[in-house]
Amino acid sequence: MLHFFTRYMVPCASVFTSIAGAVPSGQLKVFEQLTDVPDGWYRGVPAPALARLKLHIAIRQDDKHAFLQEELLKISDPEHELYGQHYDAHELDALLRPEPATSSNVLSWLEEQGIPAMEIEDNGDWISVDTTVARAENLLDTTFYFFHHAEDKIWRIRTLEYSIPDRLHPYIQMIQPTTHFARSRANQQPGPTSNSIPVYGSATKLNATYCNTTTSADCIRALYGIGDFRANASSGSRLGIPAFASQNVLRGDLALFVDKWAPYARGANFSITSVNGGVNNESTDAIWASEANMDIQYGLTLAYPTPVDFYKVGGRGPVIHDLQLPDRPGVLNEQEPFLEYLQYMVNLTNDKLPQVISISYGEDEQTHPLSYMLSVCQLFAKLGARGVSVITSSGDGGPGDGCMTNDGQNKTRFMPQFPSSCPWVTSVGGTGQVLPEIAEQLSGGGFSDVFARPDYQRTQVETYLNGTIKDKFKGLYNRTGRGIPDVAAQAWTTFPIFHLGQEQLSGGTSAATPTWAAIIANLNSERLSRGQKPLGFLNPWLYNTAYKALTDITQGSSHGCDNVTNAGQDAPGVPGAGWKAVKGWDAVTGLGTPNFTKLLDLAVEM
């Protein structure tokens, strides 16, 4: 029997850029390369020549991005004179527009390689090329293949390496989708299905016995001091919730949830925006909906009546099939929806841009090319400069699930998650139990292997490392990396949600993230109603001042690094792997959980 896929027995994907080598100027030189097919993926046949690819070329301009980050810290620091002076889209474009010589070098190369002008879109610091596989292969001196991920049942057109002229290496930071295989994984922990979950308690008085087993919207309101607060629907505050990984949201499920758990929000709705060709499937066969449903059901009801914008982010749609490919609905030419989503958002006008975005998805840092993470993180910085608070989940694997490197050496190492590790987002970990809250074992956390520790958290993080961790886990993590999470909220698998008309329990940091996002949206509603600016990038405020309005979690610890990877491969375990919750910042609950009343007092004083 002829097998269509080739499985590589050594599952490694070591990424390195701008590989050194003595190549004459103007000659092709490898720009990015994977040493092997990433863990969990299978390589199939070459992609058809006429299949479409949309390549995104990030223009490298380190000085301008460094300046943007400096400006972002100024406008996000309540004690700085520039606090709250966020940029409009056109101002940001002007600030980051590359030097004419840089753009012309890249555009001339595209023209020389026969890319038609109609396939090129110049957006300043990004250039997009919507072209055929044949032209992309010629441009990048490579061959694109179909790759299949059996667990997720997704197909992608990718390559293991590509080359560009060496004279262009200083001008280009990234070209994707090429070597990027990571999946946007929902940080959700499903629980059992049940139609007999009782409703009890109130939004103003915490019932600890009930809320220890059922984390309803009222329990969250009571636990975190939101109570009966209602946002001002006309303040201009908006909450944005994207869905990746084929997730859909069902209005019928929201209606059932609101009717039982948040009757004050009956009749509430949300807008749906398609990004990158995404189509929201609201039929009863939309099996991938539990994550998006949870995000909407809790984000909307906790921030009610703040307008909520749901973004369905998709790939490019069906590929051009050939006889060697199975003819099935799930075969998609999935592009980089995460990248395209952020590019879409940073270009929105102020009246359409939500001031808070809740992202419950992520993946281990090592599954992303370095250039991809740097480029995406820069887009998060741009959103911060626009006045947007980006809230992300820290992951559900503690210090890591299968803690094994994919660089061919299979070394034991903790696995921080991206985009949570980007310094320009606010990372949310998980807690469980009430009175007192304790650290949730699944709460993702640790230290980035990519991003250096930002100054805004240096004092708190180094206090934890020097006073609590000391030499423990030495060599398993980057002691100088950005620490995650920043904050935390309830994440036990005790959140009732409706999914396909059935009630079930769910949880994970995917539940904690919309909780925090809704709270920030409520704070923005009050600030905007008073004529103040939105909070924007939160972390300087959180670490310098707002930590005083949080409940410090000092009990419990995370757990992870068991003996199996996400793809089911054997991995070396780490006995006792986990971060301990202590007084002050820690790598499992960050600075703590929210107290809305105290946060509101601080927020309106600025």
The answer for residues whose C-beta is within 8 angstroms of residue 168's C-beta and 6 or more apart is: 105, 106, 109
What are 104's two structure tokens? 């012309």
| Cα distance between residue 93 and residue 349, in whole Å | 12
The answer for residues whose C-beta is within 8 angstroms of residue 579's C-beta and 6 or more apart is: 398, 399, 445, 446, 469, 557, 558, 586, 587, 588
Residue 372 phi/psi, 5-degree rounding, is -65, -45
User: Residue for token digits 């490694």?
Assistant: 12
Burial (CB < 10 A; 0-12, 13-18, 19+), residue 529, is: middle
| Cα distance between residue 290 and residue 216, in whole Å | 16
The answer to whether 323 touches 285, Cβ cutoff 8 Å, is no
The answer to whether residue 62 is catalytic is no
The answer for residues whose C-beta is within 8 angstroms of residue 312's C-beta and 6 or more apart is: 242, 243, 248, 249, 272, 273, 274, 275, 278, 279, 280
Q: Is 39 annotated as a binding residue?
A: no
| Cα distance between residue 421 and residue 446, in whole Å | 9
The answer to whether residue 420 is catalytic is no
H helices present in 391-508, as ranges: 458-464
Q: Is 407 annotated as a binding residue?
A: no
| Ramachandran class of 124: left when φ > 0, alpha when ψ lies in -120 to 50, beta otherwise | left
| Cα distance between residue 40 and residue 11, in whole Å | 8
The residue from 71, 166, 291, 503 that is catalytic is 291
The answer to whether 14 touches 406, Cβ cutoff 8 Å, is yes
End-to-end CA distance of the chain: 70
b/e map 233-253, b = 16+ CB within 10 Å: eebbbbbbbbbbbbbbbbeeb
Q: Is 141 annotated as a binding residue?
A: no
Residue 363 phi/psi, 5-degree rounding, is -160, 160
The residue type of 138 is N
CA angle 440, 442, 444 (to 5 degrees): 105
User: Residue for token digits 């991995």?
Assistant: 571
| Cα distance between residue 162 and residue 146, in whole Å | 16
> Where is 16: in which H helix or E strand?
strand 15-17
> Which one-letter DSSP state was computed for residue 318?
B
The answer to whether 573 touches 562, Cβ cutoff 8 Å, is yes
User: Residue for token digits 């299968």?
Assistant: 402
The answer to whether residue 234 is catalytic is no
The residue from 510, 525, 557, 558 that is catalytic is 510
Q: Is 586 annotated as a binding residue?
A: yes
Q: Within 13 Å of residue 259, how many CA atoms lie on the same side as its CB? A: 9
The answer to whether 398 touches 559, Cβ cutoff 8 Å, is yes
The residue from 36, 218, 253, 295 that is catalytic is 295
Catalytic residues: 291, 295, 510
- Which parts are annotated binding residues for Ca(2+)? 552-553, 584, 586
The annotated binding site is made up of 552-553, 584, 586
